[in-house]
Chains A and B, each alone.
Chain A
Amino acid sequence: MQERRPLSDVQINKALLRNVLAAPLWFWGLVLLLALVVAAGAGAAGWMFNRGTGVLGVNRPAMWGFLIVNFVFWIGISHAGVMLSAILRLAYAEWRRPMVRAAEVLTVFSLMTAMLMPFIHSGRPWRLAYWAFPYDFARGIFPNIRSALIWDPSAVFTYLISSSLFILVTLLPDIAVIRDRTTGIRHKIYSAMALGWRGTPRQWRLQGIAGILLSAIILPIFVSVHSIVSWDFGMAVSVEGWHATIFAPYFVIGAVLSGVSAVVTLMALMRWLFKWEDHIREEHFDAMGRLLVVIATAWFYFFAMEFMFGLFTLEPQEVALRQLQVFEWPWSALFIIFILTAYFIPVPLWLFRSVRRNVAAMFWISIMVNIGMWLERFIIIVPGLLRKQPFTFVWGSYRPSPIEIIIVAATFCLVALGILLFSKVFPLVPLAEAKEGQILADQIKVGKKTIPAVMREE
């Protein structure tokens, strides 16, 4: 797990700050392209605000469509940050070093994007603000905390604030490095942001403690966030297909699967775009592949349990829902694609070392998993709503409108744009982590073999 090439601090600075100090031309081209799609999404949302939610494909009884599916999907992706950063930090996993920052940044941008979804979906976002936040002191009207839809923003915003602060604290030493490499107005801005960081042993010690302490506090938030998102569904009295106590852990593990897969996608892109082969190595993809086998299998167990418990009770609404999901067009086709891409194709492939160490293969498989995980949320939400009533005359259907498709496409570009712009201002791989990895790396001789080793400080 240490196939690293010895690098000096100067080489690490040069490689990891290349984009911050002088972004290449392709970078701005990509930013422009993504910004155009995001603008199209903003235009589509604006059109909907102007014309009303009638321009969406939602209709009775399926009042939640692509936008809510996308909300759950992006909340799921956001679990990558904590899963990798916090757990691997707490476990002192050496291979965490190049990926923790990217995972945390992915968390923040996907959470921001996720929160846009219910705001847009409401069609009247200015009203949603006072349904969710207790600020309307003038009229004395406050959110109804007995609604699961209010627990949701409280958890998501706690997670968003926590993750953002986590990134900011761990960024301090890296901002100091940029401060030392810039001049003029940029130097002034980075100097202010570095807060006068000097790199004393006390400051480094507190950075280490901060990483562990914040990870430990964020972990319970991470578990609560997707649990509470699942309660948006599980606590809904009217939809029997969602009435499952297993929903919270099932959603959490599903979120971890899609989030960790998204980190693999991001790692591959970072390696290709920024030429960070020395930092994001095949061994890291290998480790992620092993981790994903475990996560995917745990997820599949919960999926199977949810399905089995639904059918074993033989409740008419449950049977009607499973019938719709598995046997009726087009849901049956989507169900097959979902289960193949989320589990049955990737997991057998990840069992092969040659696949896990093939960056291109890992990239495409991770995208495939997230196609499956997006469909999983769609299969849960839309068919669930379509069969929420026992009366066949209210069994309508759902077809996404072009407005919804544009908004969903724009969210993917929004997250990518956010991460790209972040990479222009701050390094996506933590410099201090990379340098510490070099300091602690060593070669030890065991018998006739010399093997790489890493010292670990408790």
Chain B
Amino acid sequence: MARREVLGLFRDAETAAGATTVLHEAGVRQDDIEVLTGAPYPEGAFGEHIKRHRIYLFPMIGAICGFTVAILLTAGTQLAYPVVTGGKPILSVPPMVIITYEGTLLGAILFTVLGVVFESRLPRGKIGLYDPRITEGFIGLVVSCAADQWLAVEQALRRAGAFEVKHEQA
């Protein structure tokens, strides 16, 4: 069935948190409600449940990749042009450790940043149902519902204290 999104704007966090209860009573599932805020609120402030993420895997994968690239780079470039300098062996371990250390951490950082963007579900081509006043302190509740239910959802949002309700055009 086709789905439609409805956005309710609330002036404060308490009213928005209360609205989620009203929406549950109206038959809306928690997974169909998305809270939009202009600042980080403590987790669970709106009764939301954040789905599992794998952000901690990214730095580990990055570190392994960075380590491998650094080893290949330090060993490969020295073997490609093997000139003995300072009486040290071609594959001198201490300097390789230093550059590998930096490479490992660089890989971890690059992958962490990619991980944060990916797990945040960004980049997002179209912002979707949104209101600029959210970054002025208003709280937005976006409800995804069946296309024929949007009127009931709008009424529930208004009943719960939303001062403005927007919906996607059909």
Interface status of B137 (Cβ within 8 A of chain A): yes
Contact A154 to B102, CB < 8 A, known contacts A196-B123, A202-B120: yes
Q: Is the CB of A201 within 8 A of B48?
A: yes
For the complex formed, measure the closest distance between the CB of A375 and the CB atoms of chain B, giving whole angstroms.
29
Q: Is the CB of B34 within 8 A of A180?
A: no
Chain A's closest residue to B130 (CB) is A198
Q: Give me 9 other A-B pairs in contact (C-beta within 8 A), A142-B78, A221-B102 excluded.
A: A140-B81, A158-B103, A181-B132, A195-B117, A196-B126, A198-B128, A214-B109, A217-B59, A221-B105
> With A and B bound together, what is the CA distance between A143 and B80 in angstroms?
11
Contact A210 to B116, CB < 8 A, known contacts A145-B95, A201-B35, A224-B101: yes
**Max chain A C-beta neighbours (<10 A), residue from B50, B53, B74, B116:** B116
Q: Mark A192-224, 1 if CB is under 8 A from B, else 0.
A: 000111111111111111100110011011001
For the complex formed, measure the closest distance between the CB of B123 and the CB atoms of chain A, giving whole angstroms.
4
| Interface SS of A by simple majority | helix
Q: Is the CB of B112 within 8 A of A199?
A: no
Q: Is the CB of A228 within 8 A of B39?
A: no
Q: Is the CB of A206 within 8 A of B55?
A: yes
B residues near A10, Cβ cutoff 8 Å: 136-137
Contact A198 to B36, CB < 8 A, known contacts A141-B81, A146-B85: yes
> With A and B bound together, what is the CA distance between A439 and B40 in angstroms?
9
For the complex formed, measure the closest distance between the CB of A234 and the CB atoms of chain B, giving whole angstroms.
13
The interface of chain B, by Cβ under 8 A from chain A, is: 13, 34-43, 46, 48, 50-51, 53, 55-56, 59, 73-74, 77-78, 80-81, 83, 85-86, 88, 92, 95-96, 98-99, 101-103, 105-106, 108-110, 112-113, 116-117, 119-128, 130, 132-137
> With A and B bound together, what is the CA distance between A96 and B67 in angstroms?
33
B residues near A173, Cβ cutoff 8 Å: 38
Q: Is the CB of B113 within 8 A of A151?
A: no
A residues near B130, Cβ cutoff 8 Å: 198
Q: Mark A416-437, 1 if CB is under 8 A from B, else 0.
A: 0000000000000000100110
> With A and B bound together, what is the CA distance between A213 and B46 in angstroms?
25
Q: Is the CB of A142 within 8 A of B35?
A: no
Q: Is the CB of A9 within 8 A of B109?
A: no
The interface of chain A, by Cβ under 8 A from chain B, is: 8-10, 13, 134, 140-147, 150-151, 154-155, 158, 161-162, 165-166, 168-169, 172-173, 176-177, 180-181, 191, 195-210, 213-214, 217-218, 220-221, 224, 228, 432, 435-436, 438-440, 455, 457
Q: Is the CB of B109 within 8 A of A145?
A: no
Contact A154 to B123, CB < 8 A, known contacts A198-B36, A201-B48, A205-B50: no
For the complex formed, measure the closest distance between the CB of A231 and the CB atoms of chain B, giving whole angstroms.
8
> With A and B bound together, what is the CA distance between A155 and B127 in angstroms?
38
Q: Is the CB of A196 within 8 A of B35?
A: no
For the complex formed, measure the closest distance between the CB of B129 and the CB atoms of chain A, giving whole angstroms.
9
> With A and B bound together, what is the CA distance between A10 and B50 in angstroms?
28
Q: Is the CB of B106 within 8 A of A158?
A: yes
Contact A201 to B50, CB < 8 A, known contacts A146-B92, A177-B38, A196-B123: yes
**Max chain A C-beta neighbours (<10 A), residue from B13, B56, B130:** B130
Chain A's closest residue to B56 (CB) is A213
**Max chain A C-beta neighbours (<10 A), residue from B40, B88, B123, B128:** B40
Chain A's closest residue to B132 (CB) is A180
Q: Is the CB of A201 within 8 A of B46?
A: yes
> With A and B bound together, what is the CA distance between A146 and B106 in angstroms?
20
5 residue pairs, one from A and one from B, having the closest CB atoms: A196-B124, A9-B137, A435-B39, A142-B77, A180-B132
Q: Is the CB of A206 within 8 A of B116?
A: yes
